[in-house]
Structure 1
Amino acid sequence: MPLHNRKYLKKYRRDLRSNLTISEARLWKALKGSQLDGRKFRRQHSIANYIVDFYCPSEKLVIEVDGGYHRNESVQIADAKRDAYLNSIGIKVLRVLNESVRSQLGMVLEAIRAEFSTTPAPPQRRGDGL
């Protein structure tokens, strides 16, 4: 069974992409199109049986945008289990708060940059021979 984007999760991924929270939409606007240091991000990407908010394959980095729901103890336990699994397969997880994305987007983007490896991403080719 593939590790990424399992077919049985396709409908759920599509539904989540169509119903982003305000904070997820704001962060996606800053990440899409390789805008952040040339790193490509995917939104609502599945890894194993989990759907993550944002995933950068070149950095093996997951970004999770957490709202009030994540303050619930049982949700925190599930989040910790999920993070531990992702870490065990070599994927870093960075959790940011909805409030931080809304009020301090620049700081959130700097926190994401801090997780990047020191090697800059290769330049993106546009298909125009350049």
Structure 2
Amino acid sequence: MAKYFNHLGYNKDLKEIARKLRNDSTPAEIRLWVKLLRAKQMKGYQFLRQRPVLNYIADFMCKELRLIIEVDGESHEHEHQWYKDELRQKELEKYGFTILRFWDEDIFNDLENVSRVIEHWIDCHPLAPPSKGELQFSR
């Protein structure tokens, strides 16, 4: 069975879950959002919080750049979660997204370097071409 997604993989079925996650953001996600990503602070690009994409919810996503930023905390230190994260990342990359990952600790203790990494990625990667039609995802 195939499922179709509009707008760079937007999955409206996950809208309510994404809303709940936005309301229950982790302290690291809040810090990254407030200090670097909201209101086009990052080089003028718009980032969205807790964006439903394919069968996942990205912590932060810039549609224009096809860039997803993930914030990893304690739960991502377990081998099982690493495996799930790797599968998720491969699937998202298959659809043209790039994923940058940062640890909670880095966001709290070295936000300047986190900013430099994101800015460097933006400077080194051309904008993605506009989306054409729908993405198809097969299960």
TM bucket by the smaller chain? 0.7 to 0.9
Given that 1:60 and 1:92 are in contact with CA atoms closer than 8 Å, whether structure 2 keeps it comes out as yes
Unaligned runs of 5+ in 2: 128-139
Counterpart position of 1:32 = 38
Q: Distance in 2 between matches of 1:79 and 1:118?
A: 25
Offset, 1:117: 4.5
Offset, 1:7: 2.1
Matches within 5 A, 1:55-94: 55-94=61-100
Aligned length: 121
SS in 1 for 2:10: coil
Counterpart position of 1:16 = 21
Structure 1 runs of 4+ with >2 Å offset: 117-121
Normalization by structure 2: what TM-score? 0.82
More strand per residue: 2
Offset, 1:19: 0.6
1:4-55 per-position Cα deviation (integer Å, ceiling 9, x unaligned): 3322211100000001100000000121000111011000001110001000
Offset, 1:115: 1.4
Given that 2:71 and 2:101 are in contact with CA atoms closer than 8 Å, whether structure 1 keeps it comes out as yes
Given that 2:10 and 2:53 are in contact with CA atoms closer than 8 Å, whether structure 1 keeps it comes out as yes
Matches within 5 A, 1:88-103: 88-103=94-109
SS in 1 for 2:122: coil
Larger RCO (alpha carbons 8 Å, 6+ apart)? 2
Counterpart position of 1:114 = 120
Unaligned runs of 5+ in 1: 122-130
Give the superposed CA RMSD: 1.7
